[in-house]
Chain A
Amino acid sequence: MRGTQLGVLLPVMLLLTGCAQSASQPQSWDFFAMDTYMTFKVWPQDPALPERTRTEIERLESLLSVTRDGSDLDRINHARGTPVTVSPETAEIIQMGLSCGAETGGALNIAMYPVSKLWGFTQDTHQVPAPGEIADALEHTDLSRISVNGETITVPDGTELDLGALAKGYAGDRLRSVLQENGVTSGILSLGGNVEVIGTKLDGSPWRVGIADPFAPSEILCSVMTRSGAVVTSGSYQRYFEENGRRYHHILDPETGYPAEQGLVSVTVTGEDGVTCDALSTALFVMGKERAVAEWNRRQDFGMILITDEPALYYTEGLDMQDLPAIPVEVISHEP
């Protein structure tokens, strides 16, 4: 009797350990939101997490989406110069966008929506606008005329805001907080070009974040090792169209209203919070290599990887780079 009992129990226990192994694995899920494909891989498992992250994204989209009726941004953009009261979060992100714009000498401009609408990047109707149209639209992109007073935002009639350069970064930060509040101690989230990591991998080693090859976007050009933080890439390869043999990408230079052509094809920024990295990656792309290096030397609170059209790769000292490519690579050091 004892023998048979043990004979039954043993395979049963083995099967249980098998399941235990699957539960000790990270949990993965994905969905489409904020005009991008988001993937999650976290530990420990919790069946409620996918729904929680989805709800949070849904909440943020209802505030920050520029195309959704009734969102904070939509109300600001249709206020015709009257003050609009928004959620504290929207006000905070707008304030962040404005100060990053000021710090980068206007390389980041959250009021470029009238121009980007002409190019059709938000509506997927791509066309090269007439120079006169661009010049007219640029009239409405003056950051100094936007006022933020607590949660009251006032923009001049004709000016429209687009938080596309910060929204995904902010969303990544919020998702990271939500997961951590729910007990996640290890994880990696990818929101299109924005990657955020929590802690280390289960074996204690840092996360390997692949940087896409701008010349072959399905391949990894190199990797950067990182622990708890954000890695955000802005690249001209991410969204573009061709017309009459010329390529037009989605990162517009607020100075000219045309796609930024400063010799960069991809800018990756690493740092503590995703929203800063997101804003910086766009601004540095517009600034070009020389000004980007100067900005890095000035701030020194982030890491950066630049890929130029030469092609060549530059990265700031202190970054743990892996699998470096065969193209010329140079380390950017601090100015003495």
Chain B
Amino acid sequence: MKPRRIAELGVLTGIALILFVIELRLPELTPIPGVKLGLANIVTVFCVFRYRAPETVLLVLTRIFLGAVFAANPASLLYSAAGAALCLTGMLLVKPILSEKQIWLASVLGAVLHNTGQILAAILLMQTTAVLGYLPVLLFSGCIAGFLTGMAAQLLLNRKIL
């Protein structure tokens, strides 16, 4: 990896972490676990469309690990990892078929898959399918959050300066 690329990825990881921590500080929209804006997703979408797949995976892994450390919540690591794995796979798969005006679609898909991954992790960890009851509200809020963060990433990606 070129030093310039390493520096860029480092800065982006930093930005993602800052967004993540800011969101922790914001008052919760709802007490439903998992319903959130996912500001750090802006950086993930940006990376998926700007960099190569391995670089993005590296960034997301670092972000998740440090995020769990900053949030002092190691239990959340498994949930985030499960969500991120599905989310990244999905976004990387649909990347080739999307034009620059359709990037937000990848983000929505990512958000939906992220929440699905978390539910799957919860089913495995808690050994109960009761958490499926949260799926509709998570999918629905995921679509909205994914659209908003996706549009943000899309606007950034389509700016020629960056």
Interface residues of A (CB under 8 A from B): 9, 12-13, 15-17, 19-20, 23-24, 44-45, 47-48, 50-51
Q: Does B128 touch A at the CB level, under 8 Å?
A: yes
A49 and chain B: residue at smallest CB distance: B130
Judge whether B31 is part of the interface by a CB distance below 8 angstroms: yes
Instruction: Select one of B31, B35, B130, B140 contacting A47, CB under 8 A.
Output: B130
Flag the segment in B17-25, B40-48, B89-97, B131-139 that touches A: B131-139
Q: Do the beta carbons of A16 and B141 come within 8 Å of each other?
A: yes
B128–A51 contact, CB under 8 A?
A: yes
Beyond A16-B140, A23-B32, A44-B31, list 4 extra A-B contacts (CB 8 Å).
Answer: A16-B29, A16-B141, A19-B32, A47-B134
Question: Do B144 and A16 have beta carbons less than 8 Å apart?
Answer: yes
Q: Nearest B residue to A47 by beta-carbon distance?
A: B130
Q: Given A48-B128, A48-B131, do A20 and B30 touch, yes or no (CB 8 Å)?
A: yes
Give the distance in Å from the alpha carbon of A50 to the alpha carbon of B128 in the complex: 10
Q: Tell me whether A50 and B31 are in contact (CB under 8 A).
A: no
Q: Which residues of B contact A13 (CB under 8 A)?
A: 144
Does B26 reach chain A (CB closer than 8 Å)? no
Measured between C-beta atoms, what is the minimum distance from B29 to chain A in Å?
7
Question: Across the interface, do A12 and B137 meet the contact criterion of CB distance under 8 Å?
Answer: no
Grouping DSSP codes into helix (H, G, I), strand (E, B) and loop, the A interface class, with mixed when no group exceeds half, is helix
Task: Give A17 to B35 CA distance when docked, in angstroms.
Answer: 11
Contacts of B134 in A (CB 8 A): 47
Between-chain CB contacts (< 8 Å), 29 pairs: A9-B144, A12-B144, A13-B144, A15-B140, A16-B29, A16-B30, A16-B137, A16-B141, A17-B30, A19-B30, A19-B32, A19-B137, A20-B30, A20-B32, A23-B30, A23-B31, A24-B31, A45-B32, A47-B126, A47-B130, A47-B131, A47-B134, A48-B122, A48-B128, A48-B131, A50-B130, A51-B127, A51-B128, A51-B130
Distance between B158 CB and nearest chain A CB, rounded to angstroms: 16
Residue of B31, B122, B127, B131 near A20 (CB, 8 A) is B31
- The 0/1 profile, CB within 8 Å of A marked 1, for residues 106-122 of chain B is 00000000000000001
Residue of B nearest to A12 (CB): B144
- What 9 A-B pairs are tightest by C-beta distance, nearest first? A20-B30, A47-B130, A48-B126, A23-B32, A47-B131, A51-B128, A19-B137, A23-B31, A24-B31
Please indicate which of the listed interface residues A9, A13, A45, A47 has the most CB atoms of chain B within 10 Å of its own CB: A47
Q: How far is the CA of A324 from the CA of B31 in the complex (A)?
A: 38
Q: A246: shortest Cβ distance to chain B, in Å?
A: 48
- Kindly state the separation between the CA atoms of A48 and B128 in the bound complex, as whole angstroms: 7
Q: Tell me if A47 and B128 are in contact (CB < 8 A).
A: yes
How long is the Cα–Cα vector from A17 to B32 in the complex, in angstroms? 11
- CA A69 to CA B54, docked complex, whole Å: 59
B residues within 8 A CB of A9? 144
CB–CB A45/B130 < 8 A: no
Interface residues of B in 125-162 (CB under 8 A from A): 126-128, 130-131, 133-134, 137, 140-141, 144
Complex CA distance for A47 and B131, rounded to whole angstroms: 6
Q: Which residues of A contact B35 (CB under 8 A)?
A: 16, 20
Please, how many angstroms separate the alpha-carbon atoms of A9 and B140 in the complex?
Answer: 12
For A50, what are the chain B residues with a Cβ–Cβ distance below 8 Å? 130
Tell me whether A20 and B29 are in contact (CB under 8 A).
Answer: yes
Cα distance, A44 to B28, chains bound together (Å): 14
User: Contacts of B126 on A, CB cut-off 8 Å?
Assistant: 47-48, 51
Interface string of B75-108 (1 = CB under 8 A from A): 0000000000000000000000000000000000
Min CB–CB distance A74 → chain B (angstroms): 28
The residues of B that contact A20 with a CB separation of less than 8 Å are 29-32, 35
Q: Which residues of A contact B133 (CB under 8 A)?
A: 47
**Interface pair B130/A48, CB less than 8 Å apart:** yes
Most chain B CB neighbours (cut-off 10 Å) among A9, A15, A20, A24: A20
Rounded to whole angstroms, the CA-CA distance of A126 and B121 in the bound complex is: 51
Contact B31 A45 (CB under 8 A): yes
Chain B residue with the shortest CB-CB distance to A19 = B137
- Give B87 Cβ to nearest chain A Cβ, in Å: 21
- A23 to B137: give the CA distance in the assembly, Å: 10
By a CB distance below 8 angstroms, the chain B residues around A24 are: 30-31
Separation in Å of the B69 CB from the closest CB of chain A?
A: 21
Separation of A149 and B12 alpha carbons in the complex (Å): 65
Chain A residue nearest to B136 (CB atoms) is: A19
Among A13, A17, A19, A45: residue with most chain B CB under 10 A? A19
Interface centre among B29, B31, B122 (most CB of A within 10 A): B31
